[in-house]
Amino acid sequence: MNNILIIGCGLLGSSLLRRIHKKKIAKKIFIYEKSKSNILKIKKLRLPCIVIDKLDKGVVNYDLIIFCTPMSEYKNLILKINNFISSKTLITDIGSSKIETSKLIKKYLKKNIYWTQSHPIAGSEVSGPEHGKENMFQDRWCILIKEKTTKKRNLNILNNFWKKMGSKVIVMTTEKHDKIFSITSHLPHLIAYNLVKSAQDFEKKQNYDLIKFSAGGLRDFSRIAASNEIMWRDIFFNNSNNISKAIDLFIKNLTEFKRDINLKNNKSILKKLIQTKRVRSKILKLKQDINKPDFGRV
């Protein structure tokens, strides 16, 4: 490719930038980033890119535009790029939910422009270009979204692109994507936030200094609950239907656990505690985690 534009150069945007540069995928990489503090970091880090300060009638024809901002910024950005974009440009994004973005694209993006959604399963609890890294997507899944209007050619281009990023690519619909990730990612994050919130409420009420004893479990959740709040608000709002159902299932199961505990129902609780181990074995078998005991990170 000649020109790639990355909109939003935080943790993942800057990781794409680093990898695109390393693998020589584009002659020029352009960055549009609204945060002045991020721009300063990008310059200080000497990331190999051209920072543009306006998204308007460009002189550049982009082969690929990648949206790496929180999803709540998409609408305004679409309205801006509509002014200069041509049908030669392929657009993608790395957002964590897909149905709402699909609606937005249909409603606001100029006709005859193609946007095929991506979702690389990568990230961390930290944000910002200083934490990005070239191998962020290595051996991670990347979901490509196929809709009725999706061109096979565009899927192929993005498939090649993500493979060069190091990812394993899989194609699914927006509906399937949003259901799966409501359970494997969105609910776990919400639960982590909720657990930390509950610990705070408890600490306030009891006036106990309990955080210092967090090594027994709370600590691991607090890490997840330190993730970027704008990104997660957007995900929770965009995938609210599926997350709402996931919460209901979660509360139903937790209420059953509570009953088992209060009634000391040995058979029922042991069955559950043993069953969950099977998921762990499966996760290890699928190499989604390493089989190394965790004694706390020190």
Give every strand in the sheet of 168-172, ordered side by side: 118-120, 141-145, 168-172
Give every strand in the sheet of 114-115, ordered side by side: 50-52, 28-32, 3-7, 64-67, 90-93, 114-115
Q: Closest approach of Cβ 182 to its own copies, in Å?
A: 9
Q: Closest approach of Cβ 101 to its own copies, in Å?
A: 16
Q: How many residues bind its own copies (CB under 8 A)?
A: 106
Kind of pairing, strands 114-115 and 90-93?
parallel
Candidate list 81, 123, 144, 155; residue touching its own copies; CB under 8 A: 123
Residues whose CB is less than 8 angstroms from the CB of residue 75 and which lie 6 or more positions away in sequence, other chains included:
104, 108
Cβ-based nearer residue to its own copies, 88 or 208: 208
From CA 103, how far away is CA 152, in angstroms rounded? 20
Q: What are phi and psi of 257, to 5 degrees?
A: -60, -45
Q: Closest approach of Cβ 292 to its own copies, in Å?
A: 7
N residues, the chain: 298
Candidate list 131, 147, 154, 173; residue touching its own copies; CB under 8 A: 131
Binding mask 205-244 for its own copies (x = CB under 8 A): -x-x-xxxxxxxxxxxxxxxxx--xx-xx--xx--x--xx
Q: Scanning the structure block, which residue is given the tokens 């997350």?
A: 243
Cβ-based nearer residue to its own copies, 79 or 270: 270
Cβ-based nearer residue to its own copies, 53 or 229: 229
DSSP 206-223: HT---GGGGGGTHHHHHH
From CA 287, how far away is CA 176, in angstroms rounded? 22
Pick out residues in 76-115 that bind its own copies (CB under 8 A): 96
| 59 binds its own copies per the rule CB under 8 A | no
Mark the segment that binds its own copies (CB under 8 A) among 27-35, 40-48, 50-58, 184-192: 184-192
| 156 binds its own copies per the rule CB under 8 A | no
Candidate list 2, 149, 156, 188; residue touching its own copies; CB under 8 A: 188
From CA 197, how far away is CA 189, in angstroms rounded? 12
| 171 binds its own copies per the rule CB under 8 A | no
Burial of residue 53, with CB atoms counted within 10 A of its CB: 0-12 exposed, 13-18 middle, 19 or more buried:
exposed
Measuring CA to CA, which residue among 83, 63, 71, 67 is closest to residue 31? 67
Pick out residues in 250-289 that bind its own copies (CB under 8 A): 250-251, 253-255, 257-258, 260-262, 264, 266, 269-270, 272-280, 282-283, 286, 288-289
Q: Closest approach of Cβ 276 to its own copies, in Å?
A: 4
Cβ-based nearer residue to its own copies, 53 or 248: 248
Residues 152/154/155/159 CA torsion (nearest 10 deg): 140
| 48 binds its own copies per the rule CB under 8 A | no
Candidate list 65, 95, 185, 204; residue touching its own copies; CB under 8 A: 185
Candidate list 75, 110, 140, 164; residue touching its own copies; CB under 8 A: 140
